[in-house]
Structure 1
């Protein structure tokens, strides 16, 4: 896969999973920034509106930081990628668990039920224009036994993961159905991201 990067490519995310996923399509960011924004859902905000808003906020914060970054010379052309991923059960938004008890509540809610993993990807092209895609994957957990629930919490994989689980980890043995993008559930939908990059002539 041919990569046609501009002078700089900025990833507006501190997630190591997103860096690993980008590497699968041959992209190594020039600069990695972790925008610090308030990710609190708005009152009555739908999961789709929420994930779009947060991704756009991450992109804007990342652009502002990149324009001031000493690693990028003034006037340097750069592309920037931002993404937000959330788990939704109906209209309920499950972010990253605050602690083990919160993770347990999330796992209990997901047990035996279908939920949706939503990602919004925003690309800032080298010309300054923006493009974005929203991706929706459906995931169903088996009904978990008490032992499986305890093992999921003991693993610690819930820490820092939307919905309290990592499909690329031990939770894979508990998921009985997946419809849509696997990489989306990990944290970055690769096909749609590649399509955005191709649309900006950054990827063959």
Structure 2
């Protein structure tokens, strides 16, 4: 598939690279260090990922040329009223997995498509239910897979997803970090 834009993926995530590559598109990766991913505490939890994706787009805006299209994204895990981003350390990762154990949570990815003159944003929500995870499973996963770069401290495509995920409602790829089918549809419209 060909698009009229030079596509730029603003992400260091190997999962997002893998998913975007699955569309057979030519794209470049540009990563600016130190982008602030904070958000106002009074924002609705459903809007956090989109807020951060838009914030990332603003940081890259000056790099855009007339024919470039920037893709920024952010993924968060929402459990009840709590937003779980990336864990700060292994202890935090274990705590997050204990919180998710035996419960259903939402994975929300906000995506922002930006050109010099236009911006389109959307978010996708998937439901994920974990079985009850015991301490040894959580310890094993965190020590072996080091999920510190993943929202909610897990990658569904890794061991924990194989043994712990009972149910997914919605896009599996969204849970991986990029709702690729929806992204494709939005790129076609763009």
Task: Decide: shared fold, TM above 0.5.
Answer: yes
Mapped contact 1:157–1:169 kept (Cα < 8 A): no
Could you state the TM-score of these two structures normalised by the residue count of structure 1? 0.86
Secondary structure of the structure 1 residue equivalent to 2:86: coil
Distance in 2 (alpha carbons) for counterparts of 1:55 and 1:35: 15
Q: In structure 2, what is the equivalent of residue 72 of structure 1?
A: none
Aligned length: 189
Distance in 2 (alpha carbons) for counterparts of 1:62 and 1:179: 33
Could you state the TM-score of these two structures normalised by the residue count of structure 2? 0.92
1:49 aligns with 2:47: yes
Mapped contact 2:4–2:67 kept (Cα < 8 A): no
Q: In structure 1, what is the equivalent of residue 159 of structure 2?
A: 170
Deviation readout 1:106-163 (Å, 9 max, x if unpaired): 01000000000001111114x6211111100000100012221221222234121100
1:139 aligns with 2:138: no
Structure 1 unaligned regions, length at least 5 = 68-74
- Deviation of 1:60 after TM superposition, in Å, equals 1.3
Deviation readout 1:22-65 (Å, 9 max, x if unpaired): 0001123234224632222322322222112111011111222x
Distance in 2 (alpha carbons) for counterparts of 1:197 and 1:117: 22
In structure 2, the CA distance between the partners of 1:3 and 1:35, relative to structure 1 (3 Å rule), is farther
1:197 aligns with 2:187: yes
Distance in 1 (alpha carbons) for counterparts of 2:53 and 2:150: 16
Max Rg structure: 1
Mapped contact 2:79–2:104 kept (Cα < 8 A): yes
1:151 aligns with 2:149: no
Structure 2 unaligned regions, length at least 5 = none
- What does 1:77-88 correspond to in 2, within 5 Å? 77-88=67-78
Aligned counterpart in structure 2 of residue 22 of structure 1, from 20, 23, 27: 20
- Name the stretch that deviates more: 46-55 or 164-173: 46-55
Q: In structure 2, what is the equivalent of residue 70 of structure 1?
A: none
RMSD: 1.6
Q: In structure 1, what is the equivalent of residue 174 of structure 2?
A: 184
Distance in 1 (alpha carbons) for counterparts of 2:83 and 2:171: 19
Q: In structure 1, what is the equivalent of residue 34 of structure 2?
A: 36
